[in-house]
């Protein structure tokens, strides 16, 4: 069976809900590409997620937007206990699957295993999340540069990105 056409399905769905302006999904003619510049076994990898991954131990569980903050990028230690992690998102197929197993969308344990096995040099000390900014321009002009700054501060070589 072919893969799901989410762009078509969401357009039809929102039209049926009375929204007449279809969402304009991000679209680029020129796509940047950076080749690997050293072996993976010598590379530090960072995990970045848009799954609204959150910590149960956070005192304030509100999103940056709900708190009135400008930034949508947040970070926490990669060695945070797995049972402290969960996702706040509703944007997943709750009829078909669950978010109970964090590694099914935020594979931090799997990456720790690859680091222990020497497949990558290390997992970077911080993992990062990026909240939906409701603005593609802000994602591009504010959140992406802030994320890159944090990755460079951790001397990251390669990045694995996981939406939910």
Partner 1 sequence: MPTVIIGVARDIIEHCGVARLVFTDFPLGSPCGEPGDARMQGKIVGSALDLLASATGPRTTIQSPFAWAKGDAWKASIFSKDQPWKTEEETEEWLARKALYRKLRSEGKV
Judged by the rule CB under 8 A, the positions of this chain that interact with partner 1 are 1, 3-10, 12-13, 25-37, 39-40, 45, 63, 65-66, 68, 70, 90-101, 103-107, 109-111, 113-114, 119-120, 134, 138, 148, 151, 156-164
What phi, psi does 31 have (nearest 5°)?
-115, 120
Half-sphere exposure of 104 (CA within 13 A, CB side): 8
SS3 string of 76-114? Answer: EECCCCHHHEEECCCCCCCCCCCCCCHHHCCCHHHHHHH
Placement of tokens 């569980």 in the chain:
61
Q: Are strands 126-130 and 73-77 parallel, antiparallel or unpaired?
A: antiparallel
């Amino acid at each position: 069976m072919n893969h799901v056409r989410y762009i078509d399905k969401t357009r039809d769905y929102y039209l049926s809900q009375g929204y007449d302006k279809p969402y304009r999904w991000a679209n680029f003619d020129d796509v940047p590409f950076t080749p690997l510049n050293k072996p993976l076994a010598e590379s530090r990898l960072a995990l970045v997620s848009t799954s609204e991954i959150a910590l149960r131990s956070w005192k304030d569980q509100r999103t940056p937007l709900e708190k009135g903050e400008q930034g949508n990028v947040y970070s926490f230690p990669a060695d945070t206990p797995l049972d402290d992690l969960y996702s706040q998102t509703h944007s997943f197929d709750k009829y078909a699957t669950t978010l109970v197993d964090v590694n099914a969308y935020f594979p931090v344990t799997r990456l720790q295993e690859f680091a222990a096995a020497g497949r990558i040099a290390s997992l970077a000390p911080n993992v990062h999340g990026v909240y939906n900014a409701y603005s593609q321009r802000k994602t591009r002009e504010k959140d992406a540069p802030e994320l890159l700054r944090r990755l460079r501060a951790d001397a990251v070589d390669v990045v694995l990105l996981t939406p939910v």
